[in-house]
C-alpha cells in the first residue's frame, strides 16, 4: 500500500512536470543591452518578452504575441522559415522552405504565402529595397486580417547572406498595439548586424 502511495505521488509529480514544461515560457529582454536572436545582433530601446521556439525562430512581444510580435527567423539550405505546424505539432510540408536557388526577389511572395497559410488575408502595401544586415535586402509593408478578423499591420526586413536567409518581421493589431513596438522594431532592424 505504501508503495502504491509512492507510485501515485510519482505519477502526479510526472504529470505536473509535464504540464509545466508544456507551458510557453518567456524571458525578459532588457532595453539597452545587445542580444543576438538567431545570430542577428540587435539592441532594443524598450523591454520585450522573448520566447525561443527553436534556434532558428525567436519571438518577442510586449503585450502578447497575438497583439504585437517580432519574429527573428533564419533558414539555411532546405530549411523551413515561418514554419506552421499541424495539429500534432509537426511542421507542415507546405511551409515556405528556403534553398540557395531562391532569389531575394522571391522571398516576399514566400513570406506572404506563409502568412496566408495561417488563414490571414494579406495585402502588400509596398516592397522597397533596403540595406539589412549590411547587405542588399528588402522591406515589405503589409496589412492583413487574421482568420479571427483582427486587423493588423506588418513590416518585414529580409536578406540572404552566404546562402542563408535572415528575416525580422513585426506585426501588431492596428488599434493601439502595432504602434507600441513599431519604432523600436524599425530602429533594431536598421541597425542589426550579423
Partner 1 sequence: MKPFLKYFFLTLVIIYLSACADSLNKYSEPIKNIIPKNTEKNKDLNTDLTFKYSIDDLPTNYNPESDPNALVDELGLWMQVEKIEKSTITAGNLVKNKNLNNYINKVFCKVSPEYCNEIRIYIINVPYFNAAMYPNGMMHIWTGALLRIQNEAQLASLISHELAHYLKRHSYQAYERAISISGASTIGGILLGAAGLGSINQLIQLGMASNFYSYGRNDEREADGYGLVLMARGGYKPEEAANLWKRIIATSKKLSLLEVSIFRNTHPSGPEREKNLRKTAKIVPKNNSEFIGKKEYLKALEPIVPSLIAKEVKQGEFESSLLLFDKLIKDDFYLPYVYFSRGELYRTKKDHIDFDKAMENYKISEKYSTIEVKNLYKSIGLIYIKMGNKKNAKESFNKYISLHPDANDTNFIKSFMETL
**Residues contributing to the site for partner 1 (CB under 8 A):** 1, 3-4, 7, 84-87, 92-94, 97, 101, 103-106, 108, 113, 116-121, 124-129, 136, 138, 144-149
**CB of 96: closest distance to partner 1 in angstroms?**
10
Q: Do 15 and 24 contact (CB within 8 A), yes or no?
A: no
Q: Which is closer to partner 1, CB of 32 or CB of 101?
A: 101
Between 48 and 178, CB nearer to partner 1: 178
Write 25-29 long-range contacts (CB < 8 A, 24+). Answer: 25/51, 26/50, 26/51, 26/61, 27/51, 29/60
Residue with Cβ nearer partner 1 (138 or 170): 138
Grid coordinates of 76: 539555411
Residue carrying the nine cell digits 495585402: 123
- CB of 113: closest distance to partner 1 in angstroms? 5
User: Shortest approach of partner 1 to residue 18 CB, angstroms?
Assistant: 19
Which residue's CB is nearer to partner 1, number 21 or number 78?
78
DSSP single-letter state for residue 96: -
Contacts 24+ apart (CB under 8 A), 28-35: 29/60
Amino acid at each position: 500500500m505504501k508503495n502504491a502511495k509512492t507510485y501515485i505521488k510519482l505519477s502526479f509529480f510526472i504529470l505536473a512536470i509535464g504540464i509545466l514544461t508544456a507551458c510557453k515560457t518567456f524571458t525578459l529582454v532588457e532595453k539597452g543591452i545587445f542580444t543576438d536572436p538567431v545570430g542577428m545582433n540587435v539592441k532594443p530601446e524598450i523591454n520585450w518578452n522573448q520566447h525561443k521556439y527553436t534556434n532558428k525562430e525567436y519571438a518577442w512581444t510586449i503585450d502578447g504575441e497575438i497583439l504585437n510580435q517580432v519574429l527573428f527567423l533564419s533558414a539555411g539550405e532546405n530549411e523551413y522559415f515561418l514554419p506552421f505546424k499541424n495539429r500534432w505539432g509537426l511542421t507542415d510540408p507546405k511551409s515556405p522552405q528556403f534553398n540557395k536557388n531562391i532569389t531575394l526577389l522571391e522571398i516576399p511572395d514566400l513570406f506572404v504565402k506563409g502568412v496566408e497559410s495561417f488563414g490571414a488575408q494579406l495585402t502588400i502595401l509596398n516592397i522597397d529595397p533596403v540595406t539589412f544586415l549590411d547587405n542588399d535586402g528588402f522591406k515589405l509593408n503589409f496589412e492583413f486580417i487574421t482568420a479571427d478578423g483582427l486587423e493588423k499591420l506588418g513590416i518585414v526586413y529580409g536578406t540572404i547572406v552566404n546562402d542563408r536567409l535572415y528575416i525580422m518581421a513585426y506585426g501588431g493589431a492596428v488599434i493601439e498595439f502595432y504602434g507600441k513596438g513599431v519604432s523600436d522594431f524599425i530602429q533594431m532592424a536598421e541597425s542589426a548586424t550579423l
